[in-house]
Amino acid sequence: MSRRCELTGKGPMTGNNVSHANNKTRRRFLPNLQDVTLISDTLGRSFKFRVSSAALRTVDHRGGLDAFLARAKDDELSASALQVKKDIAKATAEA
């Protein structure tokens, strides 16, 4: 399981630990990933994703999973999230 957000593509970043004596050692900043179940209003079912808490706040701010995926870039989404986006677009085109 990779440490990458399925909706925003946010992954680990690198930086330095800096001691009081100004010694620098490399470290990793890991994203705050959570396993969540998000519900699609259009499809009427739920999906499990591993997303960062910042992405979860953005989903809530934009008005749900459907609205978030409509504005999301395809290259940032995981394969499963991209499939959900295509299913939602197909269902809205038929309705």
Taking only the tens place, the pLDDT of each residue in 51-65 is 999 999 999 999 999
So what's the pLDDT on residue 95?
A: 79
Residue 38's domain is classified under what CATH number? Answer: 2.30.170.40
What gap in Å lies between CA 27 and CA 83, rounded to an integer?
Answer: 34
Q: Is the dihedral of CA 56, 79, 32, 12 positive or negative?
A: negative
pLDDT of residue 2: 85
The answer to whether position 51 is within a domain reads yes
What is the residue-averaged pLDDT of the chain?
96
Q: What is the pLDDT of residues 70-86, one digit of tens each?
A: 999 999 999 999 999 99
d(CA 3, CA 26): 18
Residue with structure tokens 């209003």? 41
Q: In the chain, how many domains are there?
A: 1
Question: 39 pLDDT exceeds 80?
Answer: yes
The rounded distance, in Å, linking the Cα atoms of 78 and 35 is: 14
In a domain, 7, yes or no: no
Centre a 10 Å sphere on the Cβ of residue 74 and count the other Cβ atoms it contains.
Answer: 10
